[in-house]
Amino acid sequence: MRLLLAMLALVLPAGAGDHRRIDLPIGPGGRATTIHCYVFNSDVETFRVIDQGGLTSQNSTNLGAACAAINATAGVNGSYFTPEGEPLGLMIAGGKSTGSPALAGVLTSGVLWSDGPRGAIARSKQFDLAHTKAKDLLQAGPFLIENGAAVKGLEAKRFARRTIVMTDGGKQWAIAYVPGATLAGLANVLAMPGAFPHFPLKTVLNLDGGGSSGLWIRKENDQLFYLREISKVRNFLVIVRRNQG
């Protein structure tokens, strides 16, 4: 009975998510690297897209300020953008659409969306981007894991900072900051049984990386954990409590 209760505690939405650290052999030569994650349950928390409004005149000074402004529990940088600061593909932030649906190229091959009650990750070509009723949406890519398996043919030489979003295909989610890994190496390790100990990974989608990578977490005692982004970015993906409205 105690074992059963302990197992249920891992999946039931008792409260807000939590900051977790995972050491994985994804560095050069298989060196162990610490991934920082915010793991949450979508019955309790959901994600929103924050539009910075461009690159020259931004709505918030950085990721931390954007998260604090809406009392978020966590956040990362969002999806790719052009040199002029326009979203690469479609972006929907609070019901307002910017950019255009893009079906070509791996950087827009996935769509992360939420209509409020529900949220999911889908293939852009299989999602009705032109008529979606999503309130928050980002096109991003490439996929690292689909249907529980590592995606083949990913770039395998360039080590860089990465930010990713992960789900079990149901209510278990995580956003994560990876200090340095190749896309192929990260995908292959995450697909190994037990590599991500908090829930089985069905889908992992890559977000913008490099100098755009950042992770902000507000802990239960209101202490802040912030791996700061270097570059200005067009949008943020933030996590909020559902009871915020």
If you average pLDDT over residues 130-140, what whole number do you get?
97
Confidence of residue 224 (pLDDT cuts 50, 70, 90): very high
Alpha carbons 140 and 80: distance in angstroms, whole number: 7
Residue 38 phi, psi (nearest 5)? -120, 115
User: pLDDT at position 11, please?
Assistant: 42
Alpha carbons 166 and 204: distance in angstroms, whole number: 4
Alpha carbons 80 and 95: distance in angstroms, whole number: 19
CB atoms within 10 A of CB 222: 6
User: pLDDT at position 14, please?
Assistant: 54
Residue 144: pLDDT above 60? yes
If you average pLDDT over residues 203-226, what whole number do you get?
95
What tokens does 210 get?
Answer: 């490099």
User: pLDDT at position 188, please?
Assistant: 98
Q: Name the residue among 228, 178, 169 with its Cα closest to residue 200.
A: 169
Q: Which residue has the higher pLDDT, 177 or 10?
A: 177
Token pair 């162990």: residue: 32
Residue 245: pLDDT above 90? no
Secondary structure (3-state) at 64 = helix
Residue 107 phi, psi (nearest 5)? -70, -15
Residue 100 phi, psi (nearest 5)? -135, 145
Report the percent of the chain where pLDDT is more than 90: 89
**The 3-state secondary structure of 145-190, one letter per residue:** EECCEECCCCCCCCCEEEEEEEECCCCEEEEEEEEEECHHHHHHHH
What tokens does 217 get?
Answer: 């977490």
Of 7-16, 55-64, 119-128, 176-185, which gets the smallest average pLDDT? 7-16
Q: Name the residue among 136, 137, 135, 139 with its Cα closest to residue 103.
A: 139
Alpha carbons 206 and 8: distance in angstroms, whole number: 29
Per-residue pLDDT reduced to its tens digit, 99-108: 999 999 999 9
If you average pLDDT over residues 184-210, what whole number do you get?
97
Residue 61 phi, psi (nearest 5)? -70, -30
